[in-house]
Amino acid sequence: MENEKFILIPAKSGGGALVRRDQIAGGRANGSDGSIVYLECGPSVYTTATIPQIARYLGAEMAEIHQG
């Protein structure tokens, strides 16, 4: 489906940023303010979404750390 190529990420500046899923290069937490999503094609997106929320948006699973 064509719409599955894009994801709408809530942006800190209000509204959201519509980005292509295949252009997401990575991301990191940004304190308690949300996270930063890095795009291959240009500027980063400062978002109010947390990394776990973005993982859910993308249909990704979180890895678990096993100590032993």
Write down the pLDDT at residue 37: 93
Residue spans of the chain under pLDDT 50? 1
Buried b (16+ CB within 10 A) or exposed e, 24-50: beebeebeeebbbbebeeeebbbbebe
Domain extent listing, the chain:
2-58
Write down the pLDDT at residue 25: 92
Q: What rounded mean pLDDT belongs to the chain?
A: 85
Percent of the chain with pLDDT over 70: 94
